[in-house]
Structure 1
Amino acid sequence: MANVVITGAGRGIALELVRQHVEAGDWVFALARSPESAGELASLAAGSGGRLTVHTMDVSRDDSVRAGAASTGSDGIDLIYNVAGTLGNPSAQLEDLDWKDFDDTIEVMLKGPMRVVLAFLPRMSAGGKIMNFSSQLAASTWPYGGFYPYGAAKAGMNRMMRSVAMDLKERGIIVGLIHPGYVQTDMGGPGADISPAESAASIKALAEGWTLEQSGEFYKWNGEPHAW
C-alpha cells in the first residue's frame, strides 16, 4: 500500500485517480480547492474505511499549500500527482491578453506544482514519485497558435520539473511529466477522445512503472514518449 497525494481531486481525472488508488488499497490524501462542493469525493471518503481523507488546498497560494500539506499529517509520501489546473481564457486573442488571467494561470499551473513539491518533499525518500500533469500544448511540436497563458505555464512546468528531476536523482526520487490525453472533462468537453476513467487507469499504470532512469521525461498517458 502506498501513501498517495492528489491535487485537484474534486473532479475529472484526479477524482478518478482517487477512486482507483483507494480501490487498489492505497492511502490517499485528496487535495481540493473547495472540498465542500466536491460531493462525489466526499462520498468516496465516507466509504473508504479511512483510507481516503479530504483536505483543502489552493495551489495558487503559498499559505494554503503549506496548511493543506500539514493537515495530512507526517507520514511518508510515496506518490504525488500534481493535477490541479485551470484553462484560463482559451479564446483570448494575441492583442487581447488579460494579464490578470495570465498571472492566475501561472500561479496555478507553474508555481502551483512547485509549491506542492516543496511542501511534501521532506516526507519523501528514495523510490518516491512526483507525477506532473502536462499537456500536448506544452510541446514545441503543437501545430497551433493561441492558448498563450496555458501553453506558457505547461511548457514552463515541463522544463522546471526536468530540473527538479536532475536535482532529486541522487536522492532516488522520480519525477514524471504526463500528457493525460484529450479527456472528457470540464476542460476537454464531452466530445473528447477518452473518459477520465480510461485516462486515470493508464496514468496510474504508467506512474507505477516509471523508473529513475526515466526521471524528467515526458510521456503520453498510453506510455508513448511525447516529443517536446
Structure 2
Amino acid sequence: MANVIVAGASRGIGLELARQHVEAGDRVFALVRDPDNAGELPGLASSSGGKLTVHAADVTSDSSVADAAKSVDADGIDYVYIVAGIVGKMEPMLEPGDWDTFDEAIEIMLKGPLRVLRAFLPKLSEGSKVIAFSSQLAASTWPYGGFYPYVAAKNGLNRMFRSVAIDLKDRGIVVGTIHPGYVQTDMGGPDADITPQESASEIRKLAEWWPLDKTGDFYKWNGEPHAW
C-alpha cells in the first residue's frame, strides 16, 4: 500500500488518479481548494472505506498548504501528484493591461507546486516521487503563440523542478514534470485525444517506474521523454 497525495483532486485527471489509487488499495490524501465544492470527490471518499480523505488546500496560500500537510496522518508519502492548474487568457497579451491573469497563473502553477513540495518535504524520503503537471505548451517545440501566462508558468515549473531535483537527489527523492496528454477534461474539452482514465492509468505506471537517474526530466503521459 502506498501513501499518495493528489493536489487538485476535485475533477479531471486529479480525480481519476485518486480513484485509481484507491482501487489499487492505496491510501489517498486528496487536496482541494474547497471541499464543499469538490464534485464527485466526497462521494468517492465516503465509499472508500477510509482509504481516501479530503483536505482543504489552496495552493496559492502558504498557510493553507501547511495546514493541509499537518492534517495528513501518514509518517511517509510515496507519491505526490501536483495537478492543480488554470488555462488563463489564450490570446496574446501584447497590449498594456492588468496583470491579474498572469499573477494568478504564476501563483497556482509555479509557486503552487513548490508550496506543496515544501510543505510535504518532511514526509518524503528515499524512493518518494514528486510529479508536477506541466504541458506540451511549456516546450520550445510548441509551434504556436498565445497563452502567455500559462506557458510562462509551465516553462518556469519545468526548469524550477529540475533545480529541485538536483537539490534532492542525494536524499533519493525523485522529482519531475509531465505533459498529461490532450485530455477530455474541462480544460481539454470533449474532443480531446484521450480520456482522464487513460491518462491517469499511464501516469501511474510512469510514476511507479520513474528511477532516480531520471530525476528532473520531463515526460509525456505515456512514458516517452518530452523535448524541451
Counterpart residue number, 1:121 = 121
Within-5 A mapping of 1:1-228: 1-95=1-95, 98-228=98-228
Unaligned stretches of 5+ residues in structure 1? none
Closer, same or farther: CA 97–9 of 1 in aligned 2, 3 Å: farther
1:28-63 per-residue CA deviation (whole Å, 9 max, x = no partner) reads 000001111113101110011101000001101111
In the alignment, is the contact (CA less than 8 A) between 1:206 and 1:223 conserved in 2? yes
Cα distance in 2, alignment partners of residues 113 and 50 from structure 1: 26
Q: What is the TM-score of this pair, normalised by structure 2?
A: 0.97
Closer, same or farther: CA 97–11 of 1 in aligned 2, 3 Å: farther
How far is the alpha carbon of 1:93 from its aligned partner?
3.5
In the alignment, is the contact (CA less than 8 A) between 2:35 and 2:54 conserved in 1? yes
Cα distance in 1, alignment partners of residues 175 and 51 from structure 2: 25
Closer, same or farther: CA 211–97 of 1 in aligned 2, 3 Å: farther
How far is the alpha carbon of 1:89 from its aligned partner?
1.8
Cα distance in 1, alignment partners of residues 92 and 6 from structure 2: 30
In the alignment, is the contact (CA less than 8 A) between 2:45 and 2:54 conserved in 1? yes
Number of aligned positions between the proteins: 228
Q: Which runs of 4+ in 1 moved over 3 A?
A: none
Closer, same or farther: CA 190–210 of 1 in aligned 2, 3 Å: same
- Cα RMSD between the aligned structures? 1.0
How far is the alpha carbon of 1:104 from its aligned partner?
0.8
Cα distance in 2, alignment partners of residues 72 and 92 from structure 1: 41
In the alignment, is the contact (CA less than 8 A) between 2:5 and 2:29 conserved in 1? yes
Unaligned stretches of 5+ residues in structure 2? none
In the alignment, is the contact (CA less than 8 A) between 1:94 and 1:146 conserved in 2? no
SS at match of 2:49: coil
In the alignment, is the contact (CA less than 8 A) between 2:89 and 2:148 conserved in 1? no
How far is the alpha carbon of 1:219 from its aligned partner?
0.6
SS at match of 2:5: strand
1:188-225 per-residue CA deviation (whole Å, 9 max, x = no partner) reads 11111111111000101110100001100111001111
Closer, same or farther: CA 212–97 of 1 in aligned 2, 3 Å: farther
